[in-house]
Structure 1
Amino acid sequence: MDRPDRLVWRKSSRSDNNGGACVEVAAVNESILIRDSKDAAGPVLRFGRQPWQGFLRTLR
C-alpha cells in the first residue's frame, strides 16, 4: 500500500475541531483511502472510486 504518511489526507469541513469522531480521506490512483483522524498510524480502508461515488450518492 502507499505510504499513508506521504499522502494528502482531507477531513470533512463539517468535522469539529474538538477531537470528535472524524474520518480522513485521501485519493491515490484509482482508490480512495479512509482512516480514523485520531489514529493516523492505524488501519486504512481502501475503496475503488466507483463504489466510493456510490456511497456518497447514497449519503446525499
Structure 2
Amino acid sequence: MSALPRNVPSVIEPPGVQWLRSSYSTGANNCVETARPDTGFRAGLLAVRDSKNAAGPALLFSPESWKGFLTAFR
C-alpha cells in the first residue's frame, strides 16, 4: 500500500453517509462496514469501521490503497 490508512472518529459523519455491511455478514455483528463519503475532506476515500462499534473510529483508505489491500488479501 502506498499510504497508511488514517484513523478518524466515525461519529463525525457528514449527512448522507450510508454505511454498508457485507452480504456475507451474520446477525452476530462480526464484520466490517464500509462507506464512501462524497463531501468534505473525506470525499473520494473509502471508510471502514467495525460493525460492533459503529460510534468508534473508522479507517480511511484511498481507492488505490484499498485495491492493493484486497489484491494482497486474495
Q: TM-score, normalised by structure 2?
A: 0.66
What fraction of aligned residue pairs are identical, expressed as a percent?
A: 41
Matches within 5 A, 1:3-42: 3=13, 6-17=16-27, 19-28=28-37, 29-42=43-56
Q: Which has the higher contact order (CA 8 A, sep 6+)?
A: 2
Matched residue count:
59
CA RMSD of aligned residues (A): 2.1
Deviations 1:4-34 (A, max 9, x none): 67411011111111x1421000012220001
Q: Is the 8 A contact 2:36 2:45 kept in 1?
A: yes
Higher helix share: 1
Is there any run of 5+ residues in structure 2 with no aligned partner, and where? 1-7, 38-42
